[in-house]
Amino acid sequence: MQDIKLTTTNMRILRNFLGLFLLTAFTMSCVDENESNADFVASITEPANISALVSITQDNTGLVTITPTGEGVVSFHVDYGDGSDISESINPGNSTQHTYMEGSYEAVITGTALDGSTSQGTVTVVVSFIAPENLVVDIVSSSGSYNILVSASADYATSFEVLFGDELTGDATAMQLGEQLSHTYEGAGTYNVTVTALSGGAATTQYSQELIITDPPVFDGFSTFEDFEGEVPANFSFGGVGNVVVVANPDNSGINSSANVMQCTKDQGAEVWGGMGFAVDGFINFNGNNVLRLKSYAPEAGKVVKVKLETSAGNVAGLTYEFDMVTTVANQWEILTYDFSGAPDLDYITAIVFYDFGNQDAGVYHFDDVEVGIGEYIQDIENFEGDVPESFSFGGVGGVEVIPNPDPSGENTTGNVLQFVKDEGAEVWGGMGFAVDIIDFNGSSQIHIKSYAPEVGKVVKVKLETSAGNVAGLTHEMDMTTTVANQWETLVYDFSEAPDLEYVSFIVFYDFGNTTGATYRVDEIQLID
């Protein structure tokens, strides 16, 4: 038997042969396996039972989670049904999220199989927002101010609408979350303020409040104890308030055209009670009066402005008095009027002002013309709300009667007014008059009347007579002219040249000098300093 000698070369040849054998066996095995897989592909069916699980968040955001379901599916796509783009590919078991507006939508789910075949299913998505809850409305108003501030909060609310009760068109004012609206009424009256919380859909929640707006108290004079135009008063500050200095008026317009004003700066993080004070020239003693007022300029509406008065004893209980008002406008001058009717009858020598009391926000504030009211309230000559005054008419004027206000809006929202009729062809001097309590000007100079006339440009003569009647030298008259038609306006008569007498009759001549017929109304006749 011949010996086989395995040389190095032979061993290499053997190794190559074995490798070729194994490769052939593997290839044959793969052919068999591929034949089996082809049978599997042929068995794939189209996707079936395509649907989706839908979950809607209950926070009025409209966020919806859609989880597709189906059989024989390797991926899904969702057409949300609201015109937006189709979703990206979604693997089985995963979800997609989409934000809808309130409404009903047909979402189409497309399932794709391994071989690319597809099937579809449809689900109805109904998005219905719940009504806002826990609506809280804050209305800030001050007695004797036509300004109010409105803010609101509510769970699930997306925004608000406010009706102030004096809208001519009925359109509401939009108010965003966290916003505070400022509104100024044209005059005193009762207004129904309505705040509607919106959900982003049909569901809403509403709040209404009857608000009584009163005229500011009018005095026939005020005593100014500091206007910052002369020597700067001794002053101090505390609690993170500084930079107390008299500066040039930053906005010498509107109600304050003076040259100089007081400025103070509240630093960020100041104490909630931080403020400044100044010495009064002499002392403040109300002597039966009850009003203090100042002109204020603040960067924001809704800021509490506390005024405190102290005697020489300082901050001693029972020997001080304080009162709060709230700013109603931003970056413009306004008058804040403080009721000090409850103040002890003491001699106050220090006035202290706390801007944005209760908060620590930074701000620069200005105030001016700090005054104390003196004298009596303005004299109401006649407002036609009580006993009807004794009246008379002449020269083709008649129908004199007190009636309900036919247009309680604008400058006159009172209940009753005086009406009279001038007949067609009446005398050019036809008019009417009524008895009044004695009018003695005593330094006053103006008479105001609320007038309602059908045309512009009509002369309205007012004449005052004493008990002597129409006697030369014992009467005084003055003309004004209507400037609006079919709405209330205030006519101001300058009686500074009137003889210093006691007048007991008030006479009105509408459309003086003409004979045209018309109906006229007057109200709120006042004597003003």
> What confidence tens digit (pLDDT) does each residue in 300-350 have?
988 999 999 998 888 988 889 999 999 988 999 998 888 887 788 787 889
Q: What is the pLDDT of residues 91-102, one digit of tens each?
A: 999 999 999 998
**C-beta separation of 165 from 193 below 8 A:** yes
Q: Which pLDDT score, from 0 to 100, does residue 264 have?
A: 96
N residues, the chain: 529
Q: What is the pLDDT of residues 225-269, one digit of tens each?
A: 788 988 888 999 999 999 999 999 999 887 888 899 999 999 999
Q: Which pLDDT score, from 0 to 100, does residue 239 have?
A: 95
pLDDT above 70 coverage of the chain, percent: 86
Say which DSSP state 305 is in.
E
**C-beta separation of 201 from 56 below 8 A:** no
Residue 162's DSSP bridge partners are 173, 195
pTM of the model: 0.41
Fold match between domain 48-127 and domain 133-213: yes
Q: Would you say residue 34 has pLDDT above 60?
A: no
Q: Which pLDDT score, from 0 to 100, does residue 58 have?
A: 79
C-alpha torsion sign, points 243, 247, 250, 252: positive
Between 37-41, 60-64, 289-293, 311-315, the lowest mean confidence (pLDDT) is in 37-41
Which residue in this structure is represented by tokens 């010996």? 3
Q: Which pLDDT score, from 0 to 100, does residue 374 have?
A: 53
CATH number belonging to domain 225-373: 2.60.120.430
CATH homologous superfamily of 133-213 equals: Immunoglobulins (2.60.40.10)
Which pLDDT band, with edges at 50, 70 and 90, does 31 fall under?
Answer: very low
For 31, what's the count of Cα atoms within 13 Å in the CB-facing half-sphere? 6
Q: Which pLDDT score, from 0 to 100, does residue 289 have?
A: 62
Residue 38, sorted as left (phi over 0), alpha (psi -120 to 50) or beta, turns out to be alpha
CATH number belonging to domain 48-127: 2.60.40.10
User: Among 339, 258, 269, 256, which residue's Cα sits nearest to residue 298?
Assistant: 256
CA distances from 82 to 85, 105, 127, 290 (A): 9, 7, 12, 65
Q: Which pLDDT score, from 0 to 100, does residue 39 have?
A: 57
Pairing of strands 391-394, 459-465: unpaired
Determine whether domain 379-528 maps to CATH 3.40.50.1370: no
Q: Where are the domains of the chain?
A: 1-43, 48-127, 133-213, 225-373, 379-528
The pLDDT mean for the chain works out to 85
Torsion of CA 173, 176, 181, 186, to 10 degrees: 0
Q: Which pLDDT score, from 0 to 100, does residue 16 have?
A: 40
Which carries the bigger pLDDT value, residue 481 or residue 292? 481
Q: Which pLDDT score, from 0 to 100, does residue 5 have?
A: 37
Measure the CA–CA gap between 399 and 395, rounded to whole angstroms.
Answer: 13
Question: How large is the average pLDDT for residues 54-65?
Answer: 89
